[in-house]
Amino acid sequence: MAKKKNKKKLNIAVVGVTGVVGESMLECLLKRRFPVDELRVMASHRSAGKKIKWGNRNLTVIEASTDAFAGIDIALMAVESDQSKLFSPAAAKAGAVVIDNSSAFRMDPKCPLVVPEVNPEAIRRRPKGIIANPNCSTIIMNVPVWPLHQVNPIKRIVVSTYQAASGAGRPAMEELEEATRAWAKGKKFTPKVFPYHLAMNLFSHNSKIGKEGYNTEEMKMVLETRKIFKDSKIRVAATCVRVPTLRAHCESINLEFSKPMPEKEVVKILRKAPGVQILDDRDKNRSPQPLDATGQGDVFVGRIRQDISQPNKKGIEIFIAGDQILKGAALNAVQIAELVAAQ
């Protein structure tokens, strides 16, 4: 997505800076040449005093607190929901625009839920001063689905996710690496971050299952998509699975459109869509893989084909891959910050 130039430098805070998403937020700010004046980096008391190199600046991590946001223009939150519920309102009260990566405010009707390629206009109305970053799987799905929905309204989405360890943060990534080494050596390994062995295995996403039988991750995709699309009638069914890959999520998506949707039209639309790259070679059976998306800001789309179970040609199947840490979290937040800075 093209960045708007803005010469005014802003005071930025990154909370949770020592986590994998917080670190990536810093990288995105630097690589995208965000107009930063002061950069205030915060984390828990355990990380206070740690030194961080950012470009030609040497930063010192301070302990996050509710009174640490004076003079901040934009606060990027990369902390858990309980911490965000404490720090985000405090930052907003101090005058900052808060961009929160947790689930704390996503379904709050007074907080916009934003994917810049989909609904950038939503940032204009934020009575609480907080903008929510959607769930990683929701973001990655909606970047390619939205431009199709604009041309031919989608009635139903059935999605199955293949989610990397990165979705649970650095400790989960480290556990997968350690467990894989143990498996290769035939050693016993007891998981601590995940409830089950992830190395050489997969299991249903490790979030709480509700009374309807869907886990929390699956319901996020349902409810958040409806809010982002401003379409309460769109039907979404999700199955979220944790798989033994280190970074980048994949998703198998079945779309039912309002009217016939030729495969060639889908390809034509996605070739022009912001934040999308097509990777689809049938002759070589080559489609998006986690390694393709790792470290990349775009969502890769392949396996584009007509759903042969629907004779009316209203169905399309696609397979996608996106970096959960970047577009699924840090990059999306920084893109929102760019929109705020350009206002």
Helices vs. strands in the chain: H and E counts, helices first: 8, 15
Q: Does the pLDDT at position 339 exceed 60? A: yes
Distance CA(23)–CA(159), nearest Å, equals 30
CATH at residue 315:
3.30.360.10
The verdict on 47 and 103 lying in the same domain is yes
Q: Does the pLDDT at position 310 exceed 70? A: yes
Q: Does the pLDDT at position 7 exceed 70? A: no
Q: What range defines the domain where residue 89 resides? A: 10-134+329-341
- What is the DSSP annotation of 133-173? PPPHHHHHHHHHHHHHHHHS-EEEEEEEEEE-GGGG-HHHH
Which run of H or of E encompasses 246? none
Q: CB-based burial of residue 308 (10 Å sphere; 0-12 exposed, 13-18 middle, 19+ buried)?
A: exposed
pLDDT score at 1:
47
Q: Which of 254, 276, 245 is nearest to 162 (CA)?
A: 245
pLDDT tens by residue, 247-295: 999 999 999 999 999 999 999 999 999 999 999 999 999 999 999 999 9
The verdict on 79 and 192 lying in the same domain is no
Distance CA(148)–CA(155), nearest Å, equals 12
Q: Does the pLDDT at position 6 exceed 80? A: no
Residue 75 lies in a domain: yes
Check: CB of residue 336 under 8 Å from CB of residue 114. Answer: yes
Residue with tokens 């060639």: 264
The verdict on 130 and 147 lying in the same domain is no
Percent of the chain with pLDDT over 70: 98
Distance CA(44)–CA(21), nearest Å, equals 15
The verdict on 164 and 312 lying in the same domain is yes
Residue 105 lies in a domain: yes
The verdict on 289 and 188 lying in the same domain is yes
Q: Does the pLDDT at position 5 exceed 70? A: no
Q: Angle, to 10 degrees, between the axis of helix 263-272 and the axis of helix 136-151?
A: 120
Residues shown for the chain: 343
> 111, 136, 240, 250: which one is catalytic?
136
Residue 308 lies in a domain: yes
Residue 163 lies in a domain: yes
Six-digit token string for 249: 């999520």
Distance CA(92)–CA(75), nearest Å, equals 8
249 is catalytic: yes
The verdict on 94 and 206 lying in the same domain is no
Question: From residue 88, how far is each of 64, 66, 130, 201 by CA, in Å?
Answer: 11, 8, 7, 37
Phi/psi of residue 43, nearest 5 degrees: -160, -170
The verdict on 319 and 207 lying in the same domain is yes
136 is catalytic: yes
Please report which confidence band the pLDDT of residue 311 belongs to, taking 50, 70 and 90 as the band edges: confident
Residue 5 lies in a domain: no
Residue 22 lies in a domain: yes
pLDDT score at 2:
47
pLDDT tens by residue, 213-244: 999 999 999 999 999 999 999 999 999 999 99
Distance CA(103)–CA(37), nearest Å, equals 29
pLDDT tens by residue, 26-57: 999 999 999 999 999 999 999 999 999 999 99
Q: Which of 222, 230, 209 is nearest to 118 (CA)?
A: 230
Residue 4 lies in a domain: no
Residue 149 zone, left/alpha/beta (φ > 0; ψ -120 to 50; rest): alpha
The verdict on 173 and 267 lying in the same domain is yes
The verdict on 21 and 128 lying in the same domain is yes
CATH at residue 88:
3.40.50.720
Across the chain, what does the average pLDDT equal? 96
How many domains does the chain contain in total? 2
How would you label 45-69 residue by residue, b for 16+ Cβ within 10 Å and e otherwise?
Answer: eebeeeebebeeeebebbebeeebb
The verdict on 38 and 177 lying in the same domain is no
The verdict on 186 and 252 lying in the same domain is yes
Q: Which of 220, 207, 218 is nearest to 159 (CA)?
A: 218
Question: From residue 286, how far is each of 10, 48, 282, 300 by CA, in Å?
Answer: 43, 46, 6, 12
**Mean pLDDT, residues 89-116 taken together:** 97
Residue 187 lies in a domain: yes
pLDDT score at 87:
98
The verdict on 220 and 300 lying in the same domain is yes
